[in-house]
Amino acid sequence: MTAPRTPRTPRKVFGRLSLPERNYVADALRTETVGGVLLLVAAVAALVWANIPALHDSYESVSHFHFGPETLGLNLSIAHWAADGLLAIFFFVAGIELKRELVAGDLKDPKAAALPVVAALCGMAVPAIVYTLTNTAGGGSLAGWAVPTATDIAFALAVLAVIGTSLPSALRAFLLTLAVVDDLFAILIIAVFFTDGLDFAALGGAIVGLAVFWLLLRKGVRGWYVYVPLGLVIWGLMYNSGVHATIAGVAMGLMLRCHTREGEEHSPGQHIEHLVRPLSAGLAVPLFALFSAGVSLSGGELADVFTKPETLGVVLGLVVGKTLGIFGGTWLTSRFTRASLSDDLQWADVFAVATLAGIGFTVSLLIGELAFEGDAAMTDGVKAAVLTGSVVAAALATVLLKVRNAKYRRMTEAEERDEDLSGIPDIYEEDDPAYHLRMAAILEKKAAEHRRIAEEIESARLAEVPGGAGGEGGGPA
């Protein structure tokens, strides 16, 4: 006779994170939020600098100022250095994040990985379809189909910081993982669709450099003075090969070891990410924004965003395509994997996060420059469309998240509560007998204190009552 099969507990979508994952997400998002605020400041500064008539010429002069060794093919404008050079740091961090997710994060488990991967893929495919349909119907160029496919996690978190909304950790982790997968596919799009011609000698040199980089890592060689010069050589060769130079950053990030060995508190990848992430979020990305977001935003040009099929396609792709793609991908994954939504959340929360993911900035601006290279007017129009779509998505997300903010605050407080003062949130200790013994001792101490106070109050009350135990002579004089 076969034993009865134990029913499986349905897996929860946006369920509680493990404690190490929660701590990693909190640390990563803290840096990204600060970087996002700097990104917002840089974007606003660029718009002010480019739109004040007295300053406009100086913005153009600085952006197009060239420097660098001509003999190495690196005499580039400041804007070009920001896009191809500084963003390589951003993609280096993205490569480390992706590697960590693959070996130690949510993407390690295929079942857990299905949700963010499917959501990210749908969140890129649907905006591309929306853009393509809009431009097919309006007779526009299909070159910008990839512009609305990217989510800017730093910008999204900056919006959360500005509006004062605190998402539960599970939704924040989903947003972060979604952005990591999103970055991966954006990298693939740049590598495959925006490589015109190849210099095989330079590409071969870059590959040899990456092989040396990998070998040094495997041999345990340490020292920034080894890897930084080698990384610069690899970057320069990749740039001259015709492949977008940011691919070099991703490749080097993916090579770092992101799992810990015996005796290690942090893996080399985590250690380097901790060092480089502030440089990426606090300097590289804001500087890129400063020299990429400076487009003219007069009334007529803003109106043109909604009349030209290319720019309208970008706006609709970000606002409508991203939301429907991510929400639809999440719902389909839940439907076909029999995973149920966490008891604390509703599908309205997922829809609000999907709307927030419609904020596309850094990678969208980069792809816009690549898609319409040589057409300055269209490039500026697409950048204006990215800004417009991101602002609309941020406004919609603000309204949707504010409606649920009181519940989010209660959930966040529950996640952070540490009544036994162990340094670990109580929800992670519910199965630990020692936690309950600590709580019993704390509650017994509180109970004893309350009994003492009650006895003192009772004694004082009896002393005030005529004829009470504390009265002298047992009665009135």
The full 3-state SS of 156-171, as one line of letters, equals HHHHHHHHCCCCCHHH
DSSP state of 331: H
Residues facing residue 340 across a β-bridge: 12
Calpha distance 83→104 (Å, rounded): 30
DSSP state of 339: P
Query: What's residue 210's pLDDT?
Result: 96
Q: Which of 435, 90, 440 shows the shortest CA–CA distance to 285?
A: 90
Question: What is the model's pLDDT at position 255?
Answer: 93
Copy the structure tokens of residue 269: 């990848």
> Whole-angstrom Cα distance, residue 315 to residue 437?
56
Position 19 scores a pLDDT of 61
Judge contact between 85 and 245, C-beta under 8 A: yes
pLDDT at 215: 95
Q: Are strands 66-67 and 12-13 parallel, antiparallel or unpaired?
A: unpaired
Q: Which of 170, 179, 232, 178 is nearest to 205 (CA)?
A: 232
pLDDT at 186: 84
pLDDT of residue 237: 94
Q: How many CB atoms lie within 10 A of CB 68?
A: 15
φ/ψ of residue 371, rounded to 5: -70, -35
With tokens 């419609």, the residue in question is 358
Calculate helix-pair angle for 376-403, 309-316, nearest 10 degrees. Answer: 30
DSSP letter at 147?
G
Which residues fall within 8 angstroms of residue 448, CB to CB, at 6 or more apart?
Answer: none
DSSP code, position 143: T
**pLDDT of the chain along its 477 residues, tens only?**
444 444 444 555 565 666 666 666 666 666 667 778 888 899 899 989 988 888 888 998 999 999 999 888 899 999 989 988 998 998 899 889 888 888 877 677 777 778 888 888 999 999 999 999 999 999 999 999 999 998 887 788 778 777 766 777 778 778 878 887 887 888 888 888 887 778 899 999 999 999 999 999 998 888 888 999 999 999 999 999 988 888 999 999 999 998 888 888 888 888 898 889 889 888 998 999 899 888 877 666 777 888 899 999 999 999 999 999 999 998 888 888 766 666 677 888 889 889 999 998 888 988 998 899 888 889 989 999 999 999 999 999 989 988 887 777 777 777 777 777 777 777 777 777 887 888 888 888 888 889 889 888 888 888 877 655 444 544 454
CA atoms of 433 and 267, how far apart (whole Å):
31
pLDDT attached to residue 315: 95
Beta-strand runs (E) in 12-128: 12-13, 66-67, 76-77
Distance CA 269, CA 260 (A): 9
